[in-house]
Amino acid sequence: MLDVRMIRADIDQVKAGLARRGQDTAVIDEVAGIDAELRSLSGQRDSLRAEVRALSNEVGKLFREQRQEEATELQEQSRLLGLEEKQLDARAEELQVLLRDQLLRIPNLPAADCPDGAGEQDNVILRVEQYQPESYVDCQRVPHWEIGEQLGILDVERAVKMSGSMFVMYRKQGAALVRALCQLAIDRNVDLYEEVRPPTLVRTATMIATGHLPKFSEEAYAVERDDLWAIPTAEVPLTSLGQDEIVAEADLPLRFCAHTSCFRREAGSAGKDTRGLLRVHEFDKVEILAYATPAQAADLHAEILLRAESLIAELGLAYRVLDLCAGDIGNSAARTFDIEVYSPGVDQWLEVSSVSWFGEYQARRANLRYKPLGGKGTEVLHTLNGSALAVPRVWAAIVETYRQPDGSIKIPELLLPYMRGATAISAGV
């Protein structure tokens, strides 16, 4: 969340940043008002506490001097001041809760070099790679859900019977392809990134730490009885790995990767294409995430993008990289690059990775701090993350791109070591 001290120091700058997102800036005035009242009340309360302590000392002295009447009068005065102090303290606690609630709902400010724009139509296409529209032939222009049904590797009908709409089931070599993609993504990143298998159910505070709550509660699956949430991405538990801990600067950056199932309600998907794997409630994903100092953050952002991009490139898929504008970056992000693959069967560019720098926004929520070398006190960390590989849309793009004239799917060379000797996916196999 935003540092309230930044709002105090330069409220106009904070408003300008929020306006770049297309957000109403009135909430910043509300926060400033609550903060001013809180600081005033806290000052009054602290003055009263000091006065009560001084009176208590004086009362003790008067009793020791056998001046009972004067001591009793001061006792009553101290009691009344104590009641007033408690009222101020209660109001200050209310304001503190209100202030935190307001701050938790305000999005991060876009980075200075984040492009301006109102929405996805204003995103900047940085580069398009391996895309030759004239090279695609008829056999590649078949949607993956039709291919999956023909080959028996994608069973949407039975998944819907089991779990409802927007759930899917992979079968035979379709399931093997899911596993292969995830193992490939892990293997490609464990040279620098520590492999973690975190829980897929987390507490409310863990979801709050990344900014998924309170704003996106309708998009998440809740286990209300236990106050747990199914994670929408491994970013959630990985961000909280170091919650309430202090890291030595010499140990930074810290890098983590994780393969998990992810769960999203897709509550806002009405009117969007939800056929096949374009939008599903449950999917596998390998996430990479880093803790960094502010000075390290830019290099880490570039590193994560390069890792995600190179994996898509080596799978032989057409893709493009977008620099998201201020009106389209995620709620917690300050700067985001998206990778989109071209899926010829549906003739769409499909987002497969968002690589984001969050600044202090998530770390302030999760209380992630580091001790600077040779410095005093602690500083707030920066967090960054990206999808090393999200299965559904990459799976779809592979199935469509590598479909052969006989209806089989050629397995990309990069995945051959993970496919138990298979070089192609054919019907009945």
Q: What is the pLDDT of residue 66?
A: 85
Q: What is the pLDDT of residue 78?
A: 85
**Cα 150 to Cα 404: distance, rounded to the nearest angstrom:** 13
Helix, strand, coil shares of the chain, percent, nearest 5, are 45, 20, 35
Task: List the domains of the chain with CATH numbers.
Answer: 4-105 (1.10.287.40), 120-425 (3.30.930.10)
Structure tokens at 297: 């953050």
Q: What is the pLDDT of residue 268?
A: 67
* Angle between the N-to-C axes of helices 11-20 and 26-64, in degrees from 0 to 180, rounded to the nearest 10: 140
Contact 4, 99 (CB under 8 A): yes
The single residue listed with the structure tokens 């009362």 is: 59
Cβ neighbourhood burial of 101 (10 Å; 0-12, 13-18, 19+): exposed
Report pLDDT digits (tens) over 355-376: 999 999 999 999 999 999 988 8
**Cα 399 to Cα 108: distance, rounded to the nearest angstrom:** 37
**Cα 96 to Cα 86: distance, rounded to the nearest angstrom:** 15
Element at 370 (helix H, strand E): strand 369-371
Q: What is the pLDDT of residue 38?
A: 96
Which residues lie below 8 Å from residue 126, measured CB to CB, with a gap of 6+?
320, 321, 322, 323, 337
Q: What is the pLDDT of residue 154?
A: 98
Q: CA distances (Å), 187 to each of 193, 259, 311, 411, 417, in order? A: 10, 11, 11, 18, 12
Contact 361, 108 (CB under 8 A): yes
**Peptide bond just before 417 cis, omega within 30 deg:** no
271: left (phi over 0), alpha (psi -120 to 50) or beta: left
**Cα 351 to Cα 298: distance, rounded to the nearest angstrom:** 22
Report pLDDT digits (tens) over 324-350: 999 999 999 999 999 999 999 999 999
Q: Where are the beta strands (DSSP E) in 274-363?
A: 282-292, 319-323, 335-343, 348-357
Nearest-CA neighbor of 331 among 213, 203, 205? 213
Report pLDDT digits (tens) over 203-212: 999 999 999 9
Low-confidence ranges of the chain (pLDDT < 50): none
Cβ-based neighbour number of residue 201 at 10 Å: 15
**Cα 350 to Cα 339: distance, rounded to the nearest angstrom:** 8
DSSP 133: G
Q: CA distances (Å), 407 to each of 139, 140, 420, 423, in order? A: 7, 9, 21, 14
**Cα 338 to Cα 329: distance, rounded to the nearest angstrom:** 10
Q: Which residues does residue 290 pair with via DSSP β-bridges, in sequence order?
A: 255, 384
| Phi, psi (rounded to 5 degrees) for 258 | -150, 140
**Cα 148 to Cα 123: distance, rounded to the nearest angstrom:** 32
pTM: 0.93
Q: What is the pLDDT of residue 300?
A: 98
**Cα 59 to Cα 52: distance, rounded to the nearest angstrom:** 10
SS3 279: coil
